[in-house]
Chain A
Amino acid sequence: MAALVRLETRLSRLREEYFLKNRSVDEDRKIVYKAAVKIQSWFRGCRVRAYLRYLNKMAISIQKWWRGYQSRRYFRKMIKTAYFIMKMNFYNEMAVRIQKRWRGYYVRKYTHNYYALKKYLEAISLNNEIVRNELQEYAEMNEKKKKKKDLEKKEKEKKYKARKMHYLLSTEQIAGIYNSPFRKFPDPMELLLRQSKPLSHRQQQPKSPFTYDLYDWPTCKRPPAFPTGEPLPPIGRQKPQGPFRDAAEVLRQRYKPLEPTLRVAASISSPLEKAREEMKREEWRKCIHDNEFLPFSSYHKNEKYELSIHASEKIGKETYGIKHFREVQPNKWIAGKVENLFSSRRTDISHKMLAYVSDEEEKQPAKKRFTFYFISWSTY
């Protein structure tokens, strides 16, 4: 009971205490709540931060590895390309060296060969010298020829003059003008005169009107000489001399008939041979057929009568106006019926004829006619 009294006395305080406790709790609640929130949030924050840190670290690590991997790959690639470039540079260098050498060689040898050019130019100057020398010789030769021609012309003129003036030759008594007595030796003209033959009074041949100087006729500087015809013979021409034969005698001689000797007149072959040939000719002419004569009628028993050509055709003239004059009647021909004719006297020739005819049966009628003639000839 004492406890209950004590409790009751404490009860009034309890309510105050309870109220004060609750009030203080209530008053502290906000602060405590806020503190708790703060602590919790701080802790959560720490936790999350730790988690983030962890995540970060992981991410960094992944990325680190990944980047390392990429870079290594890239690096390898770079090395490869650098190596490749180095290699190519090296090759290029070597190729440049080769090409340098080759191009130098090629240009020096083929495109612009200095020594060949030099030789060529030397050869050209040599050739030029030769050509110049030859041309010089040619020119000199021409000049010499020209001079020679001129000299010869002059000589000819001098000689002609001397011939014309031969009467100026000096004689025993009278010295000529070129042989003056006061001179030591006679003038060369005098010597020429002594050598030359006097020019006769013979007429010069008239210049033919057909020959003309170059450039004369076409430029018509010289009047043309139109010839009137055949030039007449000069008057007073000397007749040919001598005793002449009588004209009749000459004609008789000219037209005398031929009188051959016996030897010339007789023919070459002897009379015997001639007679023989004569006989042969006669026989050939008279021969009608080669068949031998068979005396008895029994040999002629199986002979078939052959129609003649005339009988196998229409007798008489053809009526005028038909296009052809050999009418064709195939039914009357015997060419197809040849085998019947050659019964007993069949020769080899007629065999061939047979064969020929039978081959040619399809061909034109004219041919058949021809063969028919052949056959008829052979049967005679």
Chain B
Amino acid sequence: MSQRQVLQGVISLLRPLLLDVVPTIQQTAALALGRLAYFNDDLAEAVVKEDILPQLVCSLSEQNRFYKKAAAFVLRAVGKHSPQLAQAIVECGALEALVICLEDFDPGVKEGAAWALGYIARHNSELSQAVVDAGAVPLLVLCIQEPEIALKRIAASTLSDISKHSPELAQTVVDAGAIAYLAQMILNPDAKLKCQVLSALSQIAKHSVDLAELVVEAEIFPVVLTCMKDSDEYVKKNGATLIREIAKHSPELSQFIVNAGGVAAVIDCIGSCKGTVRLPGIMMLGYVAAHSENLSMAVIVSKGIPPLCTCLLEEHEDHIKAAAAWALGQIGRHTPEHARAVAETNVLGTLLSMYMDIRSSEDLQLKAKRALKNILQKCTYLPALEPLLHDAPPNIMKHIVGQFSKVLPHDSKARRLFVTSGGLKKVQEIKAEPGSLLQEYINTINNCYPEEVVRYYSPGYSEMLLERVENYQPVL
């Protein structure tokens, strides 16, 4: 017998037990169904097809609290697998019954109902909207205020799932007054609760400037910074996500975060974690630096560049490296001062190697190239540019040579250094089409030096000299 037939057989056996006289049997049958459906999505589909759901929904409003818990568990198990199954649950009218369960006295029933609603709302925004239309949000906000920690966790995660899809849904959640309670719960010592609360706040704040400002007005700073020092990694990650979502909207919000010392906390957090946990922190630094040069300078002053460089070198995942490259590009692109600060850490070579590496993903290559270009266009720190002369591909080379051609005409010491370090020789070896920008830059550089020196360093000079020796008529 195929697995599907086995499953259907199981369901047809369990189904009459749901209608049994003895309540314990009903509850245990519901529990069994729930567990089966939780781990197997075929079974979940079979549960839907066999029309068990309407029965469950009816009895959800009548029976005692253990049955309600088991029925809510079944609904959650079915709804978690795919949007179609969740849609089927919504169509058989389960949402109203679940919302009624949210008003029950027993916290376990509330938890089960809230969890089921959360799993349904997770999939897409139509289902979220259906959950909101059933009137779940005010009851969830009430659930958050209950003393049981598990209930608070589940209610927070459900609110997070509802508000993540669209700004209107987030606004609905905000209108129910959720932000104040969520902000209070950041102080709670339980790590998983903090995770959910931070995730809910970040889903609300991510949609628009107004929502982010509302979240900030709930006085989460500087309390959120203590989350960045929590021992649990996911709390750190969600805290960094929240700060990132707030910082990315406008320069004023970034300024506020910088003034509250958020940059230092995030930098420490990046330094202490490994892996994907770092990613929101890196992106936050990038967003803050992107807004204006003062903020970028603030990031530099807070010693933000060394952790980013270590990220770039140590991490194995390409997307984290790409994020670090992007962030460095945003920091260094404003003025020569910023570019110098970035270049002094010798990270340009790493960026170049990442760009040239065939194994890096396209995203990483693109971001590395852009970052490199942006930094190079402002970089006047020649000792950092010189090593790049030797390896760079032509499209990068023209920026490097361009920078040299801007700096060398004015600085005699730099000219000397350029010659002694072999840079001039390298420049002569570059082949450029006449009339291109690169050729112009090369000409500008050549004009900085006397004729003989240029000729001395041009390729093939030793052969030329030897030829002259050969053709020389000795003066007797």
A220 adjacent to B225 (CB under 8 Å): no
* Cβ < 8 Å to B, chain A residues 279-333: none
Chain B residues touching A, majority SS: helix
CB of A214 closer than 8 Å to a CB of B:
yes
Size class of B's contact patch?
35 or more
CB of B157 closer than 8 Å to a CB of A:
no
| A380, B263: Cα distance in complex, Å | 98
Interface string of B14-26 (1 = CB under 8 A from A): 0000000001100
**Would you give the shortest CB distance from A214 to chain B, in whole angstroms?**
4
Query: Most chain-B Cβ atoms within 10 A of its Cβ — which of A130, A142, A212?
Result: A142
Residues from chain B with Cβ under 8 Å of A121 in the complex: 297-298, 301
| A215, B73: Cα distance in complex, Å | 12
Residues from chain A with Cβ under 8 Å of B230 in the complex: 142
Q: Specify which of B108, B258, B263 is in contact with A217 (CB 8 Å cutoff).
A: B108
CB of B414 closer than 8 Å to a CB of A:
no
A218 adjacent to B108 (CB under 8 Å): yes
Which of A2-10, A25-33, A49-57, A131-139 is the contact stretch? A131-139
CB of B3 closer than 8 Å to a CB of A:
no
A132 adjacent to B73 (CB under 8 Å): no
B24 adjacent to A226 (CB under 8 Å): yes
Given contacts A135-B265, A217-B69, A226-B24, contact A124 B301 (CB under 8 A): yes
Interface string of B296-337 (1 = CB under 8 A from A): 011001100000000000000000000000000000000000
Residues from chain B with Cβ under 8 Å of A220 in the complex: 31, 34-35, 70, 73
**Would you give the shortest CB distance from B284 to chain A, in whole angstroms?**
15
Q: Specify which of A124, A130, A143 is in contact with B298 (CB 8 Å cutoff).
A: A124
Residue of A nearest to B261 (CB): A131
B258 adjacent to A124 (CB under 8 Å): yes
B150 adjacent to A214 (CB under 8 Å): yes
A128 adjacent to B261 (CB under 8 Å): yes
Residues from chain B with Cβ under 8 Å of A71 in the complex: none
Residue of B nearest to A140 (CB): B229
A135 adjacent to B108 (CB under 8 Å): no
CB of A61 closer than 8 Å to a CB of B:
no
Residues from chain A with Cβ under 8 Å of B23 in the complex: 226
Residues from chain B with Cβ under 8 Å of A217 in the complex: 69, 108, 111
Interface string of A314-355 (1 = CB under 8 A from B): 000000000000000000000000000000000000000000
A124 adjacent to B302 (CB under 8 Å): yes
Residues from chain B with Cβ under 8 Å of A212 in the complex: 108
**Would you give the shortest CB distance from A171 to chain B, in whole angstroms?**
47
B264 adjacent to A128 (CB under 8 Å): yes
B27 adjacent to A226 (CB under 8 Å): yes
| A154, B27: Cα distance in complex, Å | 40
* Cβ < 8 Å to B, chain A residues 188-243: 212, 214-215, 217-218, 220, 224, 226
CB of A125 closer than 8 Å to a CB of B:
yes
26 contacts between A and B (CB under 8 A): A120-B298, A121-B301, A124-B258, A124-B301, A127-B259, A128-B261, A128-B264, A129-B264, A131-B225, A131-B260, A131-B265, A135-B229, A135-B265, A135-B268, A136-B229, A138-B229, A142-B229, A142-B230, A212-B108, A214-B150, A217-B69, A217-B108, A220-B31, A220-B35, A220-B73, A224-B66
Q: Please report B residues at the A interface, Cβ cutoff 8 Å.
A: 23-24, 27, 31, 34-35, 66, 69-70, 73, 108, 111-112, 115, 149-150, 154, 222, 225-226, 228-231, 258-261, 263-265, 268, 294, 297-298, 301-302
- Known contacts A129-B264, A131-B260, then 18 further A-B pairs from the complex at CB < 8 Å, ordered by chain A residue: A124-B259, A125-B301, A128-B263, A128-B302, A130-B261, A131-B265, A135-B225, A135-B228, A135-B265, A142-B231, A146-B231, A212-B108, A215-B150, A220-B70, A220-B73, A224-B27, A224-B31, A226-B23
Q: Please report A residues at the B interface, Cβ cutoff 8 Å.
A: 117, 120-121, 124-125, 127-132, 135-136, 138-139, 142-143, 146, 212, 214-215, 217-218, 220, 224, 226
